[in-house]
Amino acid sequence: MRFLTCLYTLTLPTILMGCLVFMGCQHTNTANPSPPTTTPITLATWGNTAEITQLKQQLALFHQQHPGTHVTLRHIPENYLQKLHILAAAKRLPDVFLINSYHLPMFAQHGLVQDLSTFTNGHTLANTYYPTALQALSFKTNTNPNALGALPRDVSNVVMHINTTLLDTLHIPHPPRQWTMADFNATAQAICQSQRQVALPKKVYGVSFYKQPALFWLPWVWNHGGELLADNGQFALHQPNGVAGLARYLNFHTGDCPIAPRKNQIGQATPTQWFMQQRLAMMVSGRWVTPLLRQHATFTWDVWPMPRQNPTTPSITGVDATGYALAASSTQPTAGWQLIQFLTRQDAIKAVTQSGLVVPARPDVANSDAFLAPGQPPAHSAVFLDTLAHGHPTPHHPNWGAFEKHLTHTLAPYWHTTNPVSTAQLAATLSPLANTTQHKGAP
């Protein structure tokens, strides 16, 4: 009996472990087995129900045109990046995956994405896609200083959304289309001051305020001639222009008539919700809020470029891009490349654009009715495109997430202060960061 017990205790766990290991080694999705004659590839993406419905239509078309390839869609609606990291750690990265310019560098640094420029046979893509989008998704390798990590689907930039109904109610003239920082200040102050004459149901603030992500406040730094990181990757926000721009932003909360609400005033609500409730007259945001505003806004609104430093300088805003990357571990790179080309062709990007959520990465779609949507707000959708010419890629770096968190924490005393923030004080806070470039968590 003892012999049997020992035998049993050894064999059962061994069998079970063997089964688990065997299951773990299976590569194909058993829920969606593909016929043996087809090439199976996986595609990972985020997106809401409408986006996924539209993507599934595109995949159905792809299957019709490429009957030899079967695509299994992995929809990851929440915590996409975290799950992608875990898939990478498990060596099960999908063949093709959607990724943005913030996160691509981490994957590129570890050699997890293929250089797509090797598939283009020397053909230039600059005529097909916005160069800023291509630039945002590029990275350097030992052999190629312009390796392409993903083929762009869309670009993201932030612009100023203005509730023009509210300006009219407060008898404030609409700002000029090519407005400057001075025009912005005048409008924001007028919104605050005019409520001393015109009684509104609830106090209205001039403009939205975010402490994170940095893409919401970096335009204020750039439009003052400042930089977060210099070309060599060194921290540069502590330089005078950068400090001036950031100080101006942080002082939105200060003075006799603060122009932005603080987080402890806005509470659980988001700036978008406050804009919808007409408690914010101006909001810095991207194209992604357009469907929501089109559907629910009960007022007239439009978009303006971010205010420029002076009439002779361009309006600068961040430009990020999202595109489809091909995993370096993919065993089906040709099929993967076919899929990427298919999903970034004109018709596919047009379909995504018609949702109203994105600025297309292709000028041929961007300049069509699919994006400009005449008759629908915003009346000046072209503002999103005009700003691309002087778009500033948000600094992308493998350590960006850690660095942004560290920066936000360093600036903690200033985010909610009602005391005026001086440039000297801010420079003193930021200067030590210039020496932390080699530390963990900093670029």
Partner 1 sequence: MTKSNPLKIWWFVTPSLLGLALLTYLPTLASFGLSFALWDLLGAPTWVGLHNYQQLVTNPLFFKIMGNTVVFVVGVATGELLLATTLAVWVNGLVRGQRWFQSIFFLPVIAPLISVSLVWGWFYDPAQGLLNQLLAPTGLLTALNNGQPIAWLYNESTVLWALIIMQVWKTVGYAFLITLAGLQTIPDEVHHAATLDGSTPWQRFWHITFPLLTPTLFFLVTVTLINSFQTFDSIYLLTQGGPNHASNVLVHWLFEQAFDTFDVGTACALAVCLFVIILGLTLIQWAVRKRWVYNE
Q: Which residue type, as a one-letter code, is found at position 168?
A: D
The label of the residue with tokens 């810095």 reads: 284
Q: Tell me how far, at minimum, the Cβ of 141 lies from partner 1, in Å.
A: 15
Lookup: tokens for 296: 């629910």
For partner 1, the closer of residues 171 and 203 by Cβ is 203
Residues, the chain, total?
443
Contact 339, 326 (CB under 8 A): no
Does residue number 16 form part of the binding site for partner 1 (CB under 8 A)? yes
A 10 A CB-CB count for 91 gives 7
For partner 1, the closer of residues 109 and 185 by Cβ is 109
Contact 352, 270 (CB under 8 A): no
With 0-12 CB in 10 A as exposed, 13-18 as middle and 19+ as buried, what is 374?
Answer: exposed
Does residue number 200 form part of the binding site for partner 1 (CB under 8 A)? no
Dihedral, 358, 363, 367, 373 alpha carbons, nearest 10? -10
Does residue number 182 form part of the binding site for partner 1 (CB under 8 A)? no
Does residue number 32 form part of the binding site for partner 1 (CB under 8 A)? no
Lookup: tokens for 224: 């003052």
Part in contact with partner 1 (CB under 8 A); list of ranges 101-109, 213-221, 235-243, 426-434: 101-109
Does residue number 204 form part of the binding site for partner 1 (CB under 8 A)? no
With 0-12 CB in 10 A as exposed, 13-18 as middle and 19+ as buried, what is 116?
Answer: buried
CA distance 305 to 13: 65
Part in contact with partner 1 (CB under 8 A); list of ranges 15-23, 48-56, 302-310, 383-391: 15-23
How many residues contact partner 1, by CB under 8 A? 39
Does residue number 17 form part of the binding site for partner 1 (CB under 8 A)? yes
Q: Which of residues 344-373 bind partner 1 (CB under 8 A)?
A: none
CA distance 361 to 126: 11
Does residue number 409 form part of the binding site for partner 1 (CB under 8 A)? yes
Lookup: tokens for 196: 């001393």
CA distance 120 to 114: 12
Nearest-5° angle of CA 221, CA 306, CA 402? Answer: 45
For partner 1, the closer of residues 413 and 420 by Cβ is 413
Does residue number 416 form part of the binding site for partner 1 (CB under 8 A)? yes
Part in contact with partner 1 (CB under 8 A); list of ranges 63-71, 86-94, 154-162, 316-324: 86-94
Does residue number 401 form part of the binding site for partner 1 (CB under 8 A)? yes
**Beta strand 159-163 with 138-139: parallel, antiparallel or unpaired?**
unpaired
Q: Which of residues 316-335 bind partner 1 (CB under 8 A)?
A: none
Does residue number 440 form part of the binding site for partner 1 (CB under 8 A)? yes
For partner 1, the closer of residues 296 and 409 by Cβ is 409
Part in contact with partner 1 (CB under 8 A); list of ranges 70-78, 129-137, 231-239, 397-405: 397-405
CA distance 146 to 152: 15
Does residue number 213 form part of the binding site for partner 1 (CB under 8 A)? no
Q: Tell me how far, at minimum, the Cβ of 202 lies from partner 1, in Å.
A: 9
> Applying CB under 8 A, which residues contact partner 1?
1, 4-5, 8-9, 12-13, 16-17, 20, 79, 82, 85-86, 88-89, 106-107, 109-110, 112, 262-269, 401-402, 405, 409, 412-413, 415-416, 440-441
